[in-house]
Structure 1
Amino acid sequence: MNALPDRRLNAYRPDLAEEALRGTVTAERYVAGTPARVVQPVAALRPKPDSSAGIDTELLFGETVRVLDRANGWAWVKSDFDGYVGYLPEAALDTGTAAATHVVAVPRTFAYSGPDLKTPAAFALSVGSRLTAVGESETRGTRYLTLESGQSVVAGHCLSVGETAGDDYVAIAARFLETPYLWGGRSGFGLDCSALVQLSMMMTGRTAPRDSDMQAAGLGTPIERDALRRGDLVFWKGHVAIMEDEKTILHANGHTMSVAREGLDAAVERIGWLYQQPTGYRRP
């Protein structure tokens, strides 16, 4: 008997499934889904339509999804970015179709009510947020992008869609040092271990699966511990860390409850008593 597809990346229930799964899973009906985009700074994606349910991951402002179902104020969606499936409040979405022009390239920034840092901040934005700019202006030497919603964002905090923040994803990961740890978090306001990998790689134009077990199964190629160098990944059961150099790791972790820098040997010893030894090493 074949195992059912991973529910994190495949949308199916007894009553409904995504069209791509026709012939693979049994459901009463199949849908292709309708496009929508996230209009909240960060939207929690949950395994069921219940605000008390734990967070599986988060979607960022401007990211797009396919909506498979709407009911009782919740939308069942599949992320266009990494394929993650889950539920979020309908209020977090709109059906605007304007293409994003820019991506936030710093860990955190603000959307101001006008093109001036002295105007009130309307809301905060995370790295990776996708913005649609309809104009530009300059105030006291600082350039601002004007968003379709009327707010303004510092242009120097953004990249044009298609640009990258360089090719050193480890340097980007280091910019998150001391960011709070958040289970399921995937933003500059709080993130977990695998999100640190995914977001940092995303800003260099590379893709990575969302969860650490997915990364351990197929991100890059396996290597031996004595070959570790900057940019390699160390995996434990349920955890991943980035090698900053041959002896030091960067990781979002529940021990410091933050993104922290730690010696690899010390981390292996500290983590080992509870989660055993590393399960593998990979070079992305």
Structure 2
Amino acid sequence: MTIHDSRLHAFRPDLADARLEGQVAAQRFVAGRPARITASVADVRKAGRPDSGLNTQLLHGDDVLVFDEAEGFAWLQAERDGYVGYVSSADLAPRTFEPTHLVTALRTFVYPGPDMKFPRGGQLSIGSRVAVTGFAETRGTSYGILPSGEAIVLQHLAPLGTTADDFVAVAERLIDTPYLWGGFSAFGIDCSGLVQLSMRMAGNNVLRDSDMQEASLGTLVDAGPDFSRLERGDLVFWKGHVAIMTDTENMIHANGHTMTVAREGLRAAIDRIGYLYGGPTGFRRP
């Protein structure tokens, strides 16, 4: 049997993805059942328990394959980045209406109808996908109408396939977002989540965790003895951490020091982080 990362391949001693038959050991192999995230943000946990730790999150409209359901949790794999984990079954539904639009505002509200004066019924993060089946205008504001009859301000949406020109600019829009371990939304995000979400909005689907990103993204960069060879968009990696260069001297990262997405000088960050985690382990240019 070959070695597979359990974060990216669905296998347990009792059950595994049918696509892995002959590659991993399991008592039974099953094909994944297609489903879609309907919650605003769905927590992906290490185990199917409410007290289990958070590994990542999925956004409204994300497609998944479900391999097992028990005690209110679904064991699944995200189709966009391949991440495997446990999600509350209440956050899932069959794939019915295909998404047509992407949320491009950092955060937006879902109203029970096309009127911003209605009490909000929910909220969505940047990167969420929705199906717009109609349009309406109220007092000069345009809305996209969802299959449920709910409405979202049309200015906060863009047709699916729309991409940002600069992933760093997307990350900069997320400054002051609260830090959340495993977070992947404008409501809370972690360091590798910031890289992944920003790149997703620029049309580049990348792997989730910082070690995966360091092993797979772009090309290695020789930063030079004084780091003068770094450019905007380069990624700086530490053990368990990643930051995005905004220019030759400064970076942006979601971090536990400020507990936000924040700007910081590269050299100051290296000095501050060094005593706990050592120096940078690598530099990559996506």
The normalised TM-score by structure 2 is 0.97
**C-alpha distance after superposition, 1:95-125 (max 9, x if no partner):** 1322100010121111111111111110010
Give the total of aligned pairs: 282
The residue correspondences of 1:80-91 to structure 2 (distance < 5 A) are 80-91=79-90
Query: Is 1:206–2:207 an aligned residue pair?
Result: no
In structure 1, C-alpha distance between the alignment counterparts of 2:114 and 2:279, rounded to whole Å: 52
Residue in 1 aligned with 2:131? 132
Q: Is the 8 A contact 2:237 2:283 kept in 1?
A: yes
Match of residue 268, structure 1, among 267, 270, 282 = 270
The residue correspondences of 1:22-171 to structure 2 (distance < 5 A) are 22-165=21-164, 167-171=165-169
Match of residue 193, structure 1, among 191, 194, 219 = 191
In structure 1, C-alpha distance between the alignment counterparts of 2:283 and 2:105, rounded to whole Å: 28
Partner secondary structure for residue 275 of structure 2 = helix
Q: Which amino acid aligns with 1:281?
A: F
What's the Cα RMSD here? 0.9
Q: Which runs of 5+ in 2 are unaligned?
A: none
In structure 1, C-alpha distance between the alignment counterparts of 2:206 and 2:230, rounded to whole Å: 19
- What's the offset of the Cα at 1:3? 5.9
**C-alpha distance after superposition, 1:190-215 (max 9, x if no partner):** 00000101111111111211000000
In structure 1, C-alpha distance between the alignment counterparts of 2:215 and 2:265, rounded to whole Å: 24
Q: Is the 8 A contact 2:80 2:205 kept in 1?
A: no
Match of residue 213, structure 2, among 215, 232, 251 = 215
In structure 2, C-alpha distance between the alignment counterparts of 1:271 and 1:176, rounded to whole Å: 22
In structure 1, C-alpha distance between the alignment counterparts of 2:2 and 2:220, rounded to whole Å: 25
- What's the offset of the Cα at 1:49? 0.4
Q: Is the 8 A contact 2:30 2:67 kept in 1?
A: yes
- What's the offset of the Cα at 1:6? 0.5
Q: Which amino acid aligns with 2:68?
A: D
In structure 2, C-alpha distance between the alignment counterparts of 1:23 and 1:4, rounded to whole Å: 12
Partner secondary structure for residue 12 of structure 2 = coil
Partner secondary structure for residue 267 of structure 1 = helix
Q: Which amino acid aligns with 1:269?
A: D
Identity fraction in percent: 55
In structure 2, C-alpha distance between the alignment counterparts of 1:97 and 1:8, rounded to whole Å: 27
The normalised TM-score by structure 1 is 0.97
Q: Which runs of 5+ in 1 are unaligned?
A: none
**C-alpha distance after superposition, 1:208-255 (max 9, x if no partner):** 110000000110000011320000000000000000000000000000
Q: Which amino acid aligns with 2:284?
A: R
Task: Give every structure 1 segment of 4 or more consecutive aligned residues whose post-TM-superposition deviation is greater than 3 Å.
Answer: none
Partner secondary structure for residue 193 of structure 2 = helix
Q: Is the 8 A contact 2:101 2:160 kept in 1?
A: yes
Residue in 2 aligned with 1:7? 6
- What's the offset of the Cα at 1:9? 0.4
Partner secondary structure for residue 54 of structure 2 = coil
In structure 2, C-alpha distance between the alignment counterparts of 1:15 and 1:207, rounded to whole Å: 31
Q: Which amino acid aligns with 1:47?
A: K
Q: Which amino acid aligns with 1:198?
A: Q
Q: Is the 8 A contact 2:15 2:29 kept in 1?
A: yes
Partner secondary structure for residue 96 of structure 1 = coil
In structure 1, C-alpha distance between the alignment counterparts of 2:149 and 2:51, rounded to whole Å: 33
Residue in 2 aligned with 1:245? 247
